[in-house]
Amino acid sequence: MIALIQRVIRARVRVEAVEVGAIDRGVLALLCAQRGDSEREADALLAKLLAFRMFADAQGRMNRSVVDVGGGLLLVPQFTLAADTASGTRPSFTPAAPPAEGERLFTHFVERARDRHPQVATGVFGAHMQVELVNDGPVTFWLQVKPKEQNG
């Protein structure tokens, strides 16, 4: 499972001009399930995201997590993160989980996030969304948890 995470001052997601999720200071996470992913990968990725130190401490070093700073999480499904761009000029989405499986794992991720963190907002799986953000830094990281058989 993949997450492209960005430290934000604020972020929001709209569907058909209606705001469906928004946060102030926190993390915008674009999420993608790949073929072979399961709840195990989703849970491991969530644990990593919640503990990932990307906020400054008193000395200005990235030593604090979104949990430490009491920030929000905006979770947005984005299957294009799994794109295979190795050849040609048109991406292949074969590595992405099938839509029903991707939605199931996104929903699982969101439910677990809400169990573990007080402020969680989301986008809408399968919808055409507009995502607005003010990246703080900019600070952006790619997190990935591969299924056990791929960890090799």
* Residue of 138, 118, 132, 105 lying closest to 22 (CA atoms): 132
55 flagged as catalytic: no
125, amino acid identity: F
Place of tokens 């709209």: 14
Locate 50 and state its tokens. 């919640």
Active site residue: 6, 52, 55, 79, which one? Answer: 79
Q: How many whole angstroms separate alpha carbon 56 and alpha carbon 102?
A: 33
80 flagged as catalytic: yes
Locate 13 and state its tokens. 């997601």
Q: How many whole angstroms separate alpha carbon 29 and alpha carbon 106?
A: 11
Active site residue: 6, 34, 52, 78, which one? Answer: 78
79 flagged as catalytic: yes
Locate 104 and state its tokens. 């199931």
Q: Which residues are marked as active site? A: 78-80
